[in-house]
């Protein structure tokens, strides 16, 4: 398996030290499968280049939560995640970085609700497994809105 650090868009640092380290996304390539993980990133046009160089991807793990209009360079909106997934040449989109703890002002379930709506509108295959549930990228389970019953 080959792990390739690819570009991401996010500030770095804590307290008084800013932008002294880099953030990365990851392209993982095995003999038969390719997976992309956004890491912690805002949307940027580099996803198309990553897709051209390292894709297409069988699965993209796209961060969709903790977004705000005040910090577009830090985290993607769900709609931007769908755009990035398509830029990357992704087959199945699996959302990450949502529903963990409050970091933004949107409701807990909003990111995945918006992602589901956008995925249907743009004909993107979406998998939203329950925590710990496995999926098969060749036959992902239908989305069943499980999060809405616990939000």
- Longest Cα–Cα distance in the chain: 47
pLDDT in tens, 119-142: 999 999 999 999 999 999 999 999
Q: How confident is the model at residue 9 (pLDDT cuts 50, 70, 90)?
A: confident
Is there a contact between 61 and 76 (Cβ–Cβ < 8 Å)?
A: no
Is there a contact between 118 and 82 (Cβ–Cβ < 8 Å)?
A: yes
Residue 69 is predicted with a pLDDT of: 84
Is there a contact between 56 and 88 (Cβ–Cβ < 8 Å)?
A: yes
Cα 144 to Cα 138: distance, rounded to the nearest angstrom: 18
Q: What is the pTM of this model?
A: 0.91
CB neighbour list of residue 82: distance below 8 Å, 6 or more residues apart: 62, 93, 115, 118, 119, 122, 124
More confident residue, 82 or 71: 82
What's the token pair of residue 128?
């939203």
pLDDT in tens, 18-46: 766 678 899 999 999 999 999 888 899 99
Region for residue 139 given its phi and psi (left: phi exceeds 0; alpha: psi -120 to 50; beta: otherwise): beta
Residue 30 is predicted with a pLDDT of: 97
Neighbouring CB atoms inside 10 A of 127's CB total: 19
Q: Which residue has the tokens 């497994």?
A: 129
pLDDT in tens, 74-119: 889 999 999 999 999 999 999 998 877 677 778 888 999 999 999 9
Region for residue 137 given its phi and psi (left: phi exceeds 0; alpha: psi -120 to 50; beta: otherwise): alpha
């Amino acid at each position: 398996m080959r792990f390739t650090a690819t570009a991401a868009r996010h500030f770095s640092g804590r307290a008084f030290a800013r932008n002294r380290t880099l953030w990365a996304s990851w392209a993982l390539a095995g003999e038969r499968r390719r997976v992309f993980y956004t890491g912690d990133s805002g949307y940027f046009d580099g996803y198309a280049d990553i897709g051209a160089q390292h894709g297409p991807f069988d699965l993209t793990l796209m961060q969709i939560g903790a977004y705000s209009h005040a910090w577009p360079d830090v985290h993607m909106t769900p709609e931007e995640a769908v755009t990035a997934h398509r830029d990357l040449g992704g087959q199945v989109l699996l959302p990450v970085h949502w529903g963990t703890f409050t970091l933004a002002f949107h409701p807990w379930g909003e990111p995945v609700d918006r992602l589901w709506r956008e995925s249907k509108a743009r004909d993107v295959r979406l998998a939203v497994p329950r925590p710990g549930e496995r999926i098969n990228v060749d036959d992902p389970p239908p989305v069943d809105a499980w999060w809405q019953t616990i939000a």
